[in-house]
Amino acid sequence: MKIGIVCYPTFGGSGVVATELGLELSKRGHEIHFITYNQPVRLELLSNNVHYHEVNVPEYPLFHYQPYELALSSKLVDMVKLHGIELVHVHYAIPHAYAAYMAKKMLKEEGIHLPIVTTLHGTDITLVGSHPFYKPAVTFSINKSDAVTAVSKSLKDDTIRLFDIKNEIHVVPNFIDLDKYNHSYTDCQRVIMANDDEKIITHISNLRPVKRVQDVISVFYGIQKKIPAKLMFIGEGPEKEKVEKRCRELGILDKVIFFGRSNEIDKILCFSDLFLLPSQTESFGLAALEAMASRVAVISSNTGGIPEVNVNGVSGFLSDVGDIEDMVKNALYILSDDERLNTFKNNARNEALKFDLHAIVPQYEKIYQDTLARYLVL
Ligand code: GMT
């Protein structure tokens, strides 16, 4: 199949999933066209089967807001015609599903049918999408998509609860390329980061308020009072300055290593013992899954789709949002006994196996095939 993929090209989870999906589909013989405003961060190699088409939005002084949706839908029309793209898969409803629908309508005028598959990722539904300013357009674009998927059962339920949805929503969970996380402990450069007796705690996110990064600091503060530990803090975002200030106030700056944005997540996870994800809402928690694939136990909140990934008492523990005391207690339980820690680490890896990309990507392929087949019948 010739498939167009529209996504945010950033470090955000939806962009990562879209990119990894495109790369795997290309390995399975499909021709993939990424259509976005920058080359996706995890898209390093372009090939015969993997193409990238940049959406340019020319600055014009009259526009207070530059019309990205317009430029994206025009680019989609051009690329579909030029490359014979058969189907477009948009990741994150806003504004991608909306722009794709406009492209579909324009193409229809020329007798070209463009099926749209929309994948809902999380904040496009739970935070931004349900805002009254966007809700009518998001509802419309979900209902006008030819197929809709959500990355967890929890997100599907939220979508049905928050919007008036007429379409079926298929749950296709996020996935992981387990081979990428198949390192042995000796490959890891743990000694550069911490002393032998220190446990390594890690957090990775875009540091937005929804991630509750102050809770990350509070939990780490509680842990390091009882057990020698270092915190690997990865990501950039609006909460970063506040986090640095808090670490200074608590006198733990020397125990926290700030990495900023990193393309070396797998290397950092390789030497991590525990991953913290205390989010306010989280449709899936891809970062937790990446940690688990690297044999890292997870302490998280029990919100949204996280319980579908992190299994309480098996791969880690779940607590109510904001329950720092419980998170510290659970973390200390795991970390205070090396044998127990090892069991949780192994369990985490075993749970991650359920999300192997070889099992999940065919689910998307099937959705594409079914969607295209419906068009042939029409
Ligand atoms: O909020 C983020 O971390 C980024 C966001 C995105 O769409 O880029 O992530 C959402 O999609 C990820 C991939 O499907 C999920 O793993 C995250 O849980 C989800 N984030 C939230 O729901 C807050």
Q: Which residues pair with 33 in a beta bridge?
A: 4, 51
**Overall average pLDDT of the 157-176 stretch:** 96
Cβ atoms of residues 294 and 272 within 8 Å: yes
Residue pLDDT, tens place only, 13-35: 999 999 999 999 999 999 999 99
pLDDT at 314: 98
Bridge partners of 148, per DSSP, are: 118, 169
How much is the mean pLDDT over the chain? 93
Cα 211 to ligand 1 centre (Å) = 10
Q: What's the 128 CA to ligand 1 centre distance in angstroms?
A: 12
Alpha helices (runs of H) in the chain, residue ranges in sequence order: 13-27, 68-83, 93-108, 123-126, 135-144, 153-162, 190-193, 213-226, 240-250, 265-270, 286-293, 324-335, 338-352, 357-377
Query: Residue of the nearest CA to atom 9 in ligand 1?
Result: 13
Q: Are 268 and 275 in contact (CB under 8 A)?
A: no
- Nearest in space to 171 (alpha carbons), one of 187, 158, 185: 158
pLDDT at 14: 94
Q: Coil, strand or helix: which one is 216?
A: helix
Spacing, Cα 360 to ligand 1 middle (Å): 18
- Residue 265: predicted pLDDT: 85
Tell me which residue of 280, 270, 352 sits closest to 316, measured CA to CA. Answer: 352
Does residue 263 surpass a pLDDT of 60?
A: yes
Give every strand in the sheet of 169-171, ordered side by side. Answer: 50-54, 31-36, 2-6, 87-91, 116-120, 147-150, 169-171
In the block, tokens 């929309």 appear at: 118
Domains and CATH numbers, the chain: 2-175+357-377 (3.40.50.2000), 178-355 (3.40.50.2000)
Return the number of other C-beta atoms located less than 10 Å from residue 362's C-beta.
Answer: 13
DSSP one-letter code for 11: S
Distance 52 CA to ligand 1 centre (A): 23
Among the residue ranges 49-63, 112-126, 181-195, the one predicted with the least confidence is: 181-195
Shortest-distance Cα residue to atom 21 of ligand 1: 282
Residues near ligand 1 (Cβ within 6 A): 12-15, 17, 92, 121-123, 151, 174, 206, 210, 281-286
8 A C-beta contact, residue 247 and residue 217: yes
| Of the ranges 55-69, 119-133, 197-211, the best mean pLDDT one | 197-211
Residues 6+ apart with CB under 8 A from 266: 180, 181, 183, 290, 294
Kindly indicate the confidence band of residue 226, based on its pLDDT and cuts at 50, 70 and 90.
very high
Determine the atom of ligand 1 nearest the C-alpha atom of 8.
8
Q: Tell which one of 126, 149, 155, 282 to mutate to probe ligand 1, the residue whose CB is within 8 A of the most ligand atoms.
A: 282
Residue in 88, 121, 100 with CA at minimum distance from that of residue 10: 121
pLDDT for the residue numbered 59: 87
Distances (CA, A) of 304 to 1, 150, 260, 332: 33, 12, 26, 25
Of 350 and 193, which is predicted with more confidence?
Answer: 350
pTM given for the model? 0.93
Which atom of ligand 1 lies nearest, measured to the CA of 210? 23
Give the distance (Å) from ligand 1 centre to CA of residue 147.
20
Largest CA distance in the chain: 68
CA distance 366 to 155: 21
